[in-house]
Amino acid sequence: MRSTWLIFPLLTGSFLAFAAPVAADESEEDEDTEEETTTVTTTTRAPLEEFMADRSVGVIDEEEVLARQASSVGDALGEEPGIFWQATNRGSDSVYMRGLIGPENLILVDGIRFNQSTFRTGPNQYLATLDPWGFDRMEAVRGPGSVLYGSGAMGGVVQGFPRPFRDDSGFGGRLITHYSSADHTFGGALDLDGRAGDFAGTVGGSHREHHALRPGSRGGEDLFLAAEQQGRMLASEYRQSFWRAGGEVELSDEMDLQLRYTGGQIDDARRTDQLGRGQMRSADNRDDLAWAKLTRQDFSVADEFRAFAAYHRSDELTRRYQCQTEDIGEAPRVVDLRGCAELSDHAITERRDLRDRVHTAGAGLSATSYLPIDLTLTYGAEGYRDFVESTRSDVIGPAANSQGEARGNFADGSTYTTAGAFVHGDYSLWYSGMHEVSLGGGGRVEHFRALAPEVTDEIGDVQFANTGLVGALGISYFYDTNLNIYLNWNQGFRAPNLQESTVLGDTGNFYEVPNPELGPERNDTFELGTRVESADIGHVSTGLFATIIGDRITRAPTELNGQSEIDDKPVQHRVNADRAYFYGAELQGRTAPQWGVSLFGNIAWIDGAVGSDEDDPDFQAGPLHGLFEGDHQWTNPRRLPPLQYLLGLRYEPETNWSITFFAQGKGSQDKLSSGDFNDLRICESEAGVLHDRADCPGTPGWTTFNLRGAYRPNEILTLDLSATNLTDQRYQYHGSGVFGPGLQVMATATMRGP
């Protein structure tokens, strides 16, 4: 606990260290040392210099993605402060943002909503169906974004922007080859682009073959996962394939039309966290997103006008396997662990195939107006409609030849509709010399409705609708281009999706039944942040936040046809019962290069609690619990992210090569909820057996030491080399079902055409 208190003086000290010399310098600019300006779009839905943003935001461009040699979007985001990466299985990426995960965070592609109404609550794999090599840059806004983007943007917003079209006439391209030693991954990408007059186009794709993962071998004595055998993670192989295409036509000097398409597929990603109890899953995910975007400058009263139409199709095939088990103690244990992991015919007693296809159509309009009264307005409206096809097939086992109704995860023919309108403004309240104070804020009205026909004969149709409002308000103080201090309040909300409100059946740890009375959850987040910039010294940003969540969607016991358990799984449904809070601190910075050397790093810490109907003897009150306690009872949050940190040194004496050494790690996490104590990903003591509640150690802390190097002999070729986890540390991200990779060497070569 002592380490968490160190963050606050660290934030203050870093701010003073950077701010004092900036003020004394009176912002005398040296054009020779001025850094290239970074632009963000997600914070306001319009291009904005990152320094001016009144939100905590991270930007990862194409060059940084390749330098990190990330195999997924989640992997690329994992080094950002306040974003905690989690993987239940390989080929499955989830990120925690401000303590929230899954559908509580919103994914966007070029402004198009990627989330669908079937996204599973908690960790899920849908982010992994996007290719990090296919984006020009990615932006991650930490904190609610529901005013601008609607339902789901509670913890934060992740947005990917596709690679731009070529500006000049001619043809070119990009070729990438990649290798990682810890799992013998081979991968590559090819992108071609060209322009002729007013027409431009691009086409490309990538593929990666991941083999069995070798985790670290040193330390980690308290860690156990049944899927690790003889220094390898069983069933950790999978394949990734991605493809993309686009075209642009400049209709006039002020207007252009873009057509884009991106697709991805994850094959044979197997989930092994229940392997010790004889349960396995294998998932194939296919995702296709196509959209058209019209952009017009100086259109009527709007300085910028944008319109889009999109079609999104996802196809998920999940195979659930039950292997032979024997009863030892209170829980069944698998008889042939390796045979079950490899899905051998002799080990499998049951197999069920579940297929969900979701078709989403969406459209929207937005505009930005720069008014002469120092007011910038961004406004618009958008809507999406999901149509769900869901089937089930029992292939092996007692139900294989059943003639009864085989309902899938969802009622076949379910629909889900959202529609909303928003306005957001930024107003320069006061300006004098180098000082400026600005106000920002806005609101959104959002309507959603859902229909799941004939869920069961007893339940009938499940349908619901709701309309709600959210708002945002903030104030910023700027000292020239050196200091930005902002304070804001942002609301987030999330409507219950089809997975929570209409699902019926085994969802892993529970047997879930629908609840048509389920309503939206919402949160209020208050944030105090700073940005300090100096070409001579460097930059630092800090963020302090507190989030209060009401009507949070959670599980509660119920019965189905008088049964409280089905197939040894407790029967539960979702209810609006939880109240919760999170608060935390984030810091990141980089010094300006001196003799080619720069220091960089970040640190983030979060704490919180969830309301409880009864006293929890395992509850650990955080240092600020008294501010939120009230008269309620509390319990620890599920999978609360631990302290995370990164500290590095970069040496770049010339522009064509560099070398970086950095340490990255996570603190220990023993603040566990009741769900954590029952989670084999956190408390497995031997195959299929949980620690006694008092003996579960949680997840131990860890630190890896890493090297990176880049060499650019010319404008065509870039070589990125890495040696990560140099001490071969055995470690695990909290709540993950796989261990982290051991000592590995990675190499990526990128060739760019003219």
Q: What is the mean pLDDT of each run of 10 residues along the chain (754 residues)?
A: 38 39 41 64 92 94 94 92 92 91 95 94 89 96 96 96 94 97 96 97 97 95 94 96 97 95 96 95 96 92 94 97 88 93 96 96 96 94 97 90 72 95 96 95 95 80 88 97 96 89 76 83 96 94 96 85 83 87 97 96 97 90 93 92 97 92 97 94 94 94 97 95 98 96 98 91
- Burial (CB count <10 Å: 0-12, 13-18, 19+), residue 241: middle
How many of the other CB atoms lie within 10 Å of CB of 32?
A: 6
Burial readout 68-85 (b: 16 or more C-beta within 10 A, e: otherwise): bbbbbbbbbbbbbbbbbb
φ and ψ at residue 39, rounded to 5 degrees: -110, 140
Token pair for 341: 């992991």
SS3 349: strand
Cβ pair 242, 285 in contact under 8 A: no
| β-bridge pairing 56-61 and 135-142 | antiparallel
DSSP line for 570-591: EEEEEEEEEEEEEEEEEEEEEE
Task: Tell me the Ramachandran region of residue 45: left when phi exceeds 0, alpha when psi lies from -120 to 50, beta otherwise.
Answer: left
Terminal Cα distance for the chain, rounded: 55
Give the C-alpha separation, 625 to 4, whole Å.
Answer: 14
Give the C-alpha separation, 409 to 735, whole Å.
Answer: 24
Which helix H or strand E contains 164, and what residues bound it?
none
pLDDT at residue 459, as a whole number: 74
Give the C-alpha separation, 646 to 603, whole Å.
Answer: 6
Token pair for 613: 């109907």
| β-bridge pairing 156-162 and 105-109 | parallel
Question: What's the Rg (C-alpha) of the chain?
Answer: 26
pLDDT at residue 25, as a whole number: 43
pLDDT at residue 517, as a whole number: 81
Instruction: Tell me the pLDDT tens digit for each residue of 247-260.
Output: 999 999 999 999 99
pLDDT at residue 516, as a whole number: 77
Which helix H or strand E contains 507, and what residues bound it?
none
- For the beta sheet containing 56-61, the strands, ordered from the edge strand earlier in sequence to the opposite edge, are 56-61, 135-142, 156-162, 105-109, 112-113
- Burial (CB count <10 Å: 0-12, 13-18, 19+), residue 427: middle
pLDDT at residue 271, as a whole number: 95
Cβ pair 637, 582 in contact under 8 A: yes
CA 555 to chain centre: 22
Distances 241 to 87, 254, 285, 366, 404 between C-alpha atoms, Å: 19, 36, 10, 33, 37
Q: What share of the chain is helix, strand, coil (3-state, %, to 5)?
A: 10, 55, 35
- In total, the chain counts a number of residues equal to 754
Q: Which of 7, 105, 83, 280 is nearest to 733 (CA)?
A: 83
Q: Which of 99, 122, 64, 42 is nearest to 604 (CA)?
A: 99
Give the C-alpha separation, 667 to 679, whole Å.
Answer: 19
Token pair for 697: 């150690």
| β-bridge pairing 185-196 and 170-180 | antiparallel
Give the C-alpha separation, 611 to 636, whole Å.
Answer: 9
Give the C-alpha separation, 114 to 313, whole Å.
Answer: 10
Which alpha helices (H) appear in 423-513, and where do they start and end? 498-501
Give the C-alpha separation, 754 to 749, whole Å.
Answer: 17
Cβ pair 483, 530 in contact under 8 A: yes
Q: Is the pTM of this model over 0.85?
A: yes
Task: Tell me the Ramachandran region of residue 725: left when phi exceeds 0, alpha when psi lies from -120 to 50, beta otherwise.
Answer: left
Give the C-alpha separation, 620 to 119, whole Å.
Answer: 31
Give the C-alpha separation, 323 to 332, whole Å.
Answer: 11
Give the C-alpha separation, 354 to 409, whole Å.
Answer: 7
pLDDT at residue 606, as a whole number: 98
pLDDT at residue 17, as a whole number: 39
Distances 93 to 71, 114, 131, 431 between C-alpha atoms, Å: 10, 15, 12, 45
How many of the other CB atoms lie within 10 Å of CB of 709?
A: 17
Domains and CATH numbers, the chain: 2-409+428-518+534-752 (2.40.170.20)
Token pair for 568: 């040894």
User: Any bridge partners for residue 476, and if so which?
Assistant: 438, 486
Task: Please list, in sequence order, all residues whose beta carbon lies within 8 angstroms of the beta carbon of residue 433, skipping any fewer than 6 positions away.
Answer: none
φ and ψ at residue 605, rounded to 5 degrees: -140, 140
Which helix H or strand E contains 92, and what residues bound it?
none
Give the C-alpha separation, 439 to 332, whole Å.
Answer: 60
Angle at 395 between CA 392 and CA 397, to 5 degrees: 115
Which alpha helices (H) appear in 649-720, and where do they start and end? 674-677, 680-683
φ and ψ at residue 8, rounded to 5 degrees: -65, -45
Give the C-alpha separation, 525 to 394, whole Å.
Answer: 46
Give the type of residue at 643.
L
